[in-house]
Structure 1
Amino acid sequence: MGGANMNRASRRRRHRRLRRRYVVRRVVAAVALVLLVVGVAASTGASVAHVTATPDEGGAATANIDFTKALRMAFANGQIKEPEPLQPKSDEDRRNEAARQELDALAAPMSAEQRKQIYDKAKQTAEHSGAQVTKMTYCVATNGDVGDKSAFANTVDRALNDPRGWPRAGVVFQQVDGGCDVTVTLAAPEKLPTYSTYCSSEYSCRVGADVIINKKRWDGAVDHWFQEGGTLASYRTMVVNHEVGHALGHLDNEQPCGGDGQKAPLMQEQSMFLNGCTVNPWPLDSELWTTFVGSPA
């Protein structure tokens, strides 16, 4: 009998110890919650009134937090402002967003596998063109304060090997580090006249094996290009294809505009005038010829 009483006393002592631990844990948790709420409210400038810790029936502390009242007071005091309602995108916003995405897609980094896929697709187009398939190698360079050339190089590769471009005339393009047929250079405007007295600081130029793209035009195109619905990405594509077109044997304005509303010939000086034609970054069917004699693709 005495042993049973001792066992009951032992169980009661153990129960009291567990209860104290439970109470302590609840008090610590409640205090931590109060400190967290106070800290967040203080960091945002919101009212921290009505945040208290009181013991519950079992002796543990609980947090009584009137968040609704605190928020109302914060709004009334100007400490928290109502969020601005979302405005639907305008047509101009959507056009600008699409233009940015098009530009980013042209300049996006490429893996070796992606570059090969672009080249293979260009070669397939060239093989179906009916013309002799030739390869033009090109180097990429910069001249002056024009920034990093990697995005420029990616744009050049995508523009030249696009199936809508010169591959339709049987030509594919491969970037190399040296011994190239042409060098495509992104140059500061003041550098253009150093290549030839015929080159202007206002426009891009081609001199012999040098294809020089004017950074001023690369960044801003020309006003009438945008007025006629063109984008900066399509301008960059046009100017690369136009200037490389000279290296393929074409001349400026060798073919006139076909009439109002018709696509401008690629070799028309579209940076200077459109003559009623629409902007166009690709060679017309009538421009699909070259005098370039390159290596086999």
Structure 2
Amino acid sequence: MAERKRTKKQWLQVIIEKPYVRLSLVLTVLVLIALAIGYPFLFILAVYIFANQVGVPTLQLVTGAISAISAAGSALAAILIWRGNVQARNRVLIDRVLGPIYSEIRRSRELFESWKAKAHEISVGIPFLKQVASDWLYYTLDETLRGDLDSFQRLVQELADQTDLSKNIGSSILIKAASTTFNVQKISTVYLWSSHSWVQGATRGQQGRMPTGELITDAPPLSAPSGYYVHVLQIVDFDSKDQYSLPLLNQDKNPINQEEFGRFWGLARKLASEDNTIVEFRQLLGQVIAESSRLEGTFDSDIKRLR
């Protein structure tokens, strides 16, 4: 290998030592040196000639414009970087705080409205709102908005506390209304039975419930799941084998005994509307629906603005 390298060096040396090759190398080096030295002078000369042609003030304006454009470009780049950082932070805020809060409030509002309209009772709770305060991003929200969320949580908790008490009072009202309407002295509970099909004279059905939810929310009492029909009202005394039943539909699913049931339910509604606890519960439910709707709109606007 060493011998081969020496041979190559010798071969290059022989080529360089040739007169025309050496002259070419010398001329090339001189040209490069001249260009390196001459370019600055050529630039200065070009600027001088340009200044003489257009005038020094114009040249100053041109150079100023170039500087301004460069500064504007730098500022634009800084703005774009800043906007990118802000958008990234906003996306994190939406994903971790605003979006989940919006979803929970909207879902809660829909459930509360269904509860009020159809007595579809729900488990009152807003778990994400209870734990979101542990995320530091939550405290980047406006203080007023955080106060509204705290107030909403207290309102929902108050509604939950009022629900069980209202249902207990509603049960007592149903028993009192049934006793007065149907002249039954001893009553343990009042049931509405629903079935897909039944025989004439049936005193029970496939699904039974005490319509306290319908009473405290002032919802229609004879609603049933799809494919089922409320067909009998039963008054139960746990200490007696004798039960009172009021058929509400015949086998052809045509209404019967509507006048008697209307008197019973009308009296129950009247008594419920006079009870302060149930009245307060209804007001709380309405307030929760209204506040959840307002907060839903607020968070929807904030999310759209930050996107």
Q: TM class, shorter-chain normalised? A: under 0.3
Using structure 2 for the length normalisation, give the TM-score. 0.21
Quick one: higher RCO (CA 8 Å, sep 6+), 1 or 2? 2
Q: Name the one with the larger strand percent.
A: 1
Using structure 1 for the length normalisation, give the TM-score. 0.22
Q: Name the one with the larger helix percent.
A: 2
Q: Which has the larger radius of gyration?
A: 2
